[in-house]
Amino acid sequence: MTVRKEELEADNIKVELTNLQIISDNDLEINKDVPACLEEPSKAKLYYCYNCNFNSNKKIILIRHLQMQHTGRKPFKCNLCDYSCTISFNLTRHMRTHTGEKPFKCNICDYCTNRSETLKTHMFKHTGEKPFKCNICDYCCITKLRLKEHMYKHTGEKPFKCNICDYCSTINYNLTSHMRTHTGEKPFKCNVCDFCTNRKESLKTHMFKHTVEKPFKCNICDYCCTIKLSLKVHMYKHIAEKPFKCNICDYCTNRREILETHMCKHTGEKPFKCNICDYCCATKVGLKVHMCKHTGKKSFKCNICDYCCTTKVGLKVHMCKHTGKKSFKCNICDYCCTTGSNLRRHLRTHTGEKPYKCNICDYCTNRKESLKTHMFKHTVEKPFKCNICDYCTNRREILETHMCKHTGEKPFKCNICDYCCTTKVGLKVHMCKHTGKKSFKCNICGYCSTISSNLTRHMRTHTD
């Protein structure tokens, strides 16, 4: 045992790990080879570790610290799994994960846990107490760890970094979950279906699909959901105040992140970039949806038919086909639809607004898709070519439809009769025969049709 003479002072003793003999748990109290400098001196008050800032007023604690922290020794091992630790108390607590024992119970509700600290934290939910407070802003919370994570927002520090990519986080657990995206590991599995995920929270949320339980409820209206974040987003609807304002236009919102996304419209900034192609966008969600085009992944599946899509909103719109629900209604005519964007587009037929304008000619339209289609007329290049005949086009979807002529495939099928066709529009027109719906109406006479081109042709009879 090496001890520096200049560090042997009356009030502190520093001890190096060098040459420290490893002491067994049984011999800890009686071992004759305990370094002399650890024998409690008459005037000494604290024992200091020479390798770190640890100190203690008890010799036994310092010895255990030296052995466990600086040698990596973990003498307490679980006989059921590979777990090992430095303290017997931790092993006792770990064993409860195997036995399922939860001895610490709440005296107010049914909650129980295998850790006394967890119960103490749980009790704050009943008392409303949040003892850990930020000294910079008004934030307060029930655990020291959450406060520590919160403080990173002020410092901007993200100490947990991925050693494979540029990802970094303020929370160690998030980094652990992220690393599974590199390894492909999905340890959390549903015991009802084949679903598996790399995050414990995702599995918990998934399980609500089997129970139909929606534990997160709004205390103002009847809204309830399966995800806490969804409830948080919903609560903004009840907040009339919109403190976050754009300094360029009149736009204002009650969420900072929405304002940040809005500002991208003015700056033209698209910070989220695809690492496979040249695509970039203003939102993280937009990039996530785009990446599904490369992976082919369609995570959102209909539980009634075979439909699946890349977004939750897309699935929600699809489900309206099964329920028949059309929540968005026109206040001028009887038109109703399943999405807000369709209603906004419809209202332009009443106002005559055509906000989408061609920057080459005078063409303008009330539909973004129509302008995109129009722009192909100015594009001479036709990169999409048929490998069977000489046909070529400047749009991929048109080539896909063309290929059906060669293959004879008719992918769009009617769920009422045997009709099938090569285009989505064709199927939509056909369905009007079953529903009797004629969406295209003349605003001069009583004529109506299932096809817009028929209405266009009819309108000429009034102008002629």
Summarize pLDDT for 158-186 with one digit per residue, the tens.
Answer: 888 888 888 888 888 888 888 888 888 88
Q: Is the pLDDT of residue 435 over 70?
A: yes
Q: What is the CA radius of gyration of the chain?
A: 34
User: What gap in Å lies between CA 418 and CA 426, rounded to an integer?
Assistant: 14
**pLDDT at residue number 8:** 32
Kindly state whether residue 368 falls inside one of the protein's structural domains: yes
**pLDDT at residue number 16:** 42
**pLDDT at residue number 443:** 83
Q: Is the pLDDT of residue 211 over 80?
A: no
Q: Is the pLDDT of residue 3 over 60?
A: no
Kindly state whether residue 386 falls inside one of the protein's structural domains: yes
Q: pLDDT tier at 56 (50, 70, 90 boundaries)?
A: confident
User: What gap in Å lies between CA 414 and CA 420, rounded to an integer?
Assistant: 6
**pLDDT at residue number 179:** 86
Among 26-35, 126-135, 189-198, 203-212, which stretch is predicted with the lowest mean pLDDT?
26-35
Contact between residue 442 and residue 455 where contact means Cβ atoms under 8 Å apart: yes
Give the residue, 10 or 374, on which the prediction is more confident: 374
Map residue 146 onto helix, strand or coil.
helix
Among 68-77, 139-148, 303-312, 382-391, which stretch is predicted with the lowest mean pLDDT?
68-77
**pLDDT at residue number 19:** 38
User: What gap in Å lies between CA 53 and CA 74, rounded to an integer?
Assistant: 21
With pLDDT > 70 as the criterion, what percentage of the chain qualifies? 90
Written as one string, the DSSP assignment of 200-235 is: HHHHHHHHHHHH----EE-SSSS-EES-HHHHHHHH
User: What gap in Å lies between CA 250 and CA 182, rounded to an integer?
Assistant: 43
Mean pLDDT over all residues of the chain?
79
**pLDDT at residue number 131:** 86
Region 321-347 average pLDDT:
84
Tokens 């754009």 map to which residue? 246
Tokens of 464: 């002629």
Question: For residue 58, what are the domain limits?
Answer: 5-73
Map residue 45 onto helix, strand or coil.
coil
Contact between residue 143 and residue 132 where contact means Cβ atoms under 8 Å apart: yes
User: What gap in Å lies between CA 339 and CA 328, rounded to an integer?
Assistant: 6
Kindly state whether residue 83 falls inside one of the protein's structural domains: no
Q: pLDDT tier at 17 (50, 70, 90 boundaries)?
A: very low
Kindly state whether residue 290 falls inside one of the protein's structural domains: no
Kindly state whether residue 69 falls inside one of the protein's structural domains: yes
Give the residue, 313 or 44, on which the prediction is more confident: 313
**pLDDT at residue number 33:** 41
Q: pLDDT tier at 63 (50, 70, 90 boundaries)?
A: confident
**pLDDT at residue number 1:** 33
Region 115-127 average pLDDT:
87
**pLDDT at residue number 45:** 62
Q: Is the pLDDT of residue 7 over 70?
A: no
Region 434-445 average pLDDT:
83
**pLDDT at residue number 464:** 65
Tokens 């008890």 map to which residue? 58
User: What gap in Å lies between CA 251 and CA 245, rounded to an integer?
Assistant: 6
Kindly state whether residue 200 falls inside one of the protein's structural domains: no
First to last CA, the chain: 109
The number of domains in the chain is 2
Region 75-79 average pLDDT:
86
The DSSP symbol for 59 reads H
Tokens of 253: 């919102």
Q: What is the CATH number of the domain that holds 449?
A: 3.30.160.60
Kindly state whether residue 311 falls inside one of the protein's structural domains: no
Summarize pLDDT for 31-45 with one digit per residue, the tens.
Answer: 334 444 444 444 446
Among 56-65, 267-276, 306-315, which stretch is predicted with the lowest mean pLDDT?
56-65
The most confident of the ranges 17-31, 56-70, 275-289 is: 275-289
User: What gap in Å lies between CA 190 and CA 203, rounded to an integer?
Assistant: 7
- The residue among 45, 73, 101 that closes a domain is 73
Q: pLDDT tier at 296 (50, 70, 90 boundaries)?
A: confident
**pLDDT at residue number 253:** 84
Summarize pLDDT for 221-251 with one digit per residue, the tens.
Answer: 888 887 777 788 788 778 777 778 888 888 8
Q: Is the pLDDT of residue 124 over 70?
A: yes
Report H helices in 85-143.
88-99, 116-127
**How many angstroms from the chain centroid is the CA of residue 337?**
28
User: What gap in Å lies between CA 179 and CA 323, rounded to an integer?
Assistant: 40
Written as one string, the DSSP assignment of 111-125 is: -EES-HHHHHHHHHH
Kindly state whether residue 21 falls inside one of the protein's structural domains: yes
- The residue among 19, 41, 73 that closes a domain is 73
With pLDDT > 90 as the criterion, what percentage of the chain qualifies? 0
Map residue 293 onto helix, strand or coil.
helix
- The residue among 26, 43, 73 that closes a domain is 73
